[in-house]
Amino acid sequence: MKAWLKFLPSIINKSIISDTMKLYDIDFNILKANITPRGGKMLVDISGPQESESISFMEEKGIEVTPVLKVVKKDSEKCFECGACVSLCPVNAIGIMDNWDIDIDDQKCIGCGFCISSCPTRAISLME
Amino acid sequence: MKTIEEINQKIKEGEAVVVTAAEMTQIVQQKGSKTAAQEIDVVTTGTFGAMCSSGAFLNFGHSDPPVKMTKTYLNGVEAYSGLAAVDSYLGATQINQNPDIGLDYGGAHVIEDLIRGKEVELIAEAYGTDCYPLKKIKTYITLDNINQATMINPRNCYQNYAVAVNSTEETLYTYMGTLLPNYGNVTYSSAGELSPLINDPYLETLGVGSRIFLCGTEGYIIGEGTQHFTEADRHKGVPVTPSGTLMLKGDLKKMNPDYVRGGTMPRYGPTLYVGAGVPIPILNEEIALRTAISDEDIKCRIFDYGVPRRSRPVVKETNYKELKSGKIEINGMEVPTSPLSSYKRAALVAEELKKWIEKGDFFLSSPVKMLPNQGQIVKPLNISKPSKMVKDIESKPVIITHPTDPVKEVALKLVENNINHLPVVDSNGRLAGIVTSWDIADAVARGKTKLEEVMTRKVIIAREDESVDIIARRIDKHNISGLPIVDKDSKVKGMITAEDISRLIGKNK
């Protein structure tokens, strides 16, 4: 699952992430991270049989875990397949198909919304 | 050898062989240019890109009592009305009068709404004359109830175009779309092998009066476009940088919204996406060979849009095959690419034009005058008062501080020198941060004593060879009041502040 992890300044010195990985043997892929002495946020993709246990553990240790539930959708009436959004997607979720259609992969999309503001016809919006 | 008349006769008899430029590339590869020239009569091209230099002349008709419109607004977008009484020209990039709408709905959007048959609000202001007494009108128009609506685009269908990248550390919002920092993405605009003028690189078959596909209806080339340029470097005949352009005309009333679209380049402004296709008569083998150009053979250059100057540095040369693959290598990194024009719609334009010709609904026309194909250069605009450079600002002694300095000492330095900003440098004399009088106030309020705890580490900087106008834009964009001037080795050379710039403007009056 994809989720935002929020770190308060009080826990940034603790090695919670590596403890979680060691304890629950999960795949832990960092998609985005911005952590400073004042705390921070990390966007991650966690997978493995003990996924939910690992999340409970992180929450116990003080990390605020918010699963990513939103993805972007395009309005095919407004979209004319210019492709301006394609190279802006941080997780390569937007691609150009062989027939030159623009396709958004829900599995990859993290709902960051960067493509929304970049679309010349405002054809992309956030959906639950 | 064929003539346009012979081709038109074949179109009339339903026997003309028409292929798209993409198909022609394959045909010539398989059969050779000699056979292709004999078999193929017309090659259709297409493009569907952002063409900012577009707009429409509108004639609203006369009201009773009549009005001599001096200012007109369509859905809040101003059209130029300094012609006669009820004519105006609506430009695609004109932004909305309402600051809350601004860039989101401009001239291009009004053009699209008119073509879609929507009702558009017209407000006109006038000064009133004996023959045109009315001073203000407000009404609604549709494309059907006005006399003429003629699209005239001064510069469309650029023969090849620049490719954009951004070397700076901040995201840039440009007419080439959103450019991510540190070479984060690459954007390109040309349709490559389908693009009209790339298939006739020496402009041997088109000219004034050539009938074309424009936004879903027939249109005409009415001359070379503005900034028409013929002297670019060429590869296999095709210019590698932006070159020839077309001035186009078409009837807005007959246009199809599938082939024209209003849009907004984020934080840049409105633009019109124009679908245009030019039919190229295959009169001889040479022309056949030129229309067979492939994406791989169409070279183009990637420019650094992080340098806001007229001549932007070239980062590297590439081609459309590589660009269309979705990624490109720059400085050892794989960088994703974005087309800004719709290749899907460009292909639809070429297909649609092909159908029209095959059905006998569209005939080719011989140009009444060819377009210039040599000796055309683009002149720069020289500013009578040259832009001041950062190094021209009166130099003051460089006052600096160090990360380990106590806050109290820094406060004293600010007061004694009557300044508000202090660059912080490390032991090697390189810029490490900046501290303002506000930061010092903050430190006192929160009881912090070390400069390290309050200084800003991510510093917006100025370079000596940058124009002061660029710095003013940077100050505005980042909502700051001063920038350290830094050389290429990160050594601090001074400070430039909003006050310095105000003073400079004051003196220059």
Could you state, in order of their start, the residue ranges of all structural domains in chain A? 2-68, 72-126
pLDDT at B70: 97
**What sign does the CA torsion over B26, B30, B32, B37 have?**
negative
B178 touches chain A (CB under 8 A): yes
Q: Where are the beta strands (DSSP E) in B126-266?
A: 136-141, 148-156, 163-165, 172-174, 177-179, 186-188, 207-208, 211-214, 217-224, 234-235, 238-239, 246-251, 260-265
Average pLDDT per block of 10 residues along chain B, 509 residues long: 96 97 97 97 98 98 96 98 97 97 98 98 97 96 98 98 95 96 97 98 97 98 98 97 98 98 97 98 97 98 92 95 97 96 98 98 97 94 83 80 89 90 89 91 86 88 89 90 88 89 76
Task: Transcribe B181-212 into DSSP letters.
Answer: TTTT-EEE---GGG-GGGSSTT--S-EET-EE
Contact B66, B54 (CB under 8 A): no
Domains A2-68 and A72-126 share a fold: yes
Q: Is residue B384 part of a domain?
A: no
Q: Tell if the CB–CB gap between A99 and B271 is shorter than 8 Å.
A: no
A-chain CB neighbours of B339 within 8 Å are: 82-84, 86, 96
Q: What total of structural domains would you count in chain B?
A: 3
CA distances from B144 to B58, B61, B120, B121, B235 (A): 12, 12, 11, 14, 47
B-chain CB neighbours of A120 within 8 Å are: 50, 263-266, 271, 273
Contact B499, B468 (CB under 8 A): no
Q: Is residue B382 part of a domain?
A: no
Q: How far apart are CA B106 and CA B19, in angstroms?
A: 37
| CATH architecture entry for A72-126 | 2-Layer Sandwich (3.30)
Pairing of strands B186-188, B333-339: parallel
Task: Please check whether residues B15 and B86 belong to one and the same domain.
Answer: no
Distance (Å) from the alpha carbon of B141 to chain A's nearest alpha carbon: 24
Q: Tell if the CB–CB gap between A120 and B273 is shorter than 8 Å.
A: yes
Sequence-distant (6+) residues with CB within 8 A of B27 are: B19, B36, B39, B40, B292
Structure tokens of B309? 């100057």
pLDDT at B427: 86
Q: Choose, out of A32, A34, A80, the residue to mutate when testing the contact with B (most B CBs < 10 Å).
A: A80
Task: Please check whether residues B67 and B40 belong to one and the same domain.
Answer: no
**Containing H/E element for A39?**
strand A39-47
| Token pair 């508000």 in the structure block, residue | B420
| Token pair 């510069």 in the structure block, residue | B155
The one-letter amino acid at B482:
G
What is the dotted CATH code of the domain comprising A2-68?
A: 3.30.70.260
Sequence-distant (6+) residues with CB within 8 A of B342 are: A80, A81, A82, A83, A100, B48, B49, B273
Number of H helices, E strands in chain A: 3, 8
Task: Please check whether residues B158 and B230 belong to one and the same domain.
Answer: yes
pLDDT at B187: 98
Count how many residues are written for chain A: 128
Task: Please check whether residues B102 and B156 belong to one and the same domain.
Answer: no
B485: containing domain = 390-508
* C-alpha Rg value of chain B to the nearest Å: 28
B326 touches chain A (CB under 8 A): yes
- ipTM value, please give it: 0.82
pLDDT digits (tens, 9 = 90+) for A52-85: 899 999 999 999 998 887 788 999 999 999 999 9
Q: Is residue B129 part of a domain?
A: yes
Q: How far apart are CA B289 and CA B284, in angstroms?
A: 9
Task: Please check whether residues B139 and B156 belong to one and the same domain.
Answer: no
Contact B283, B154 (CB under 8 A): no
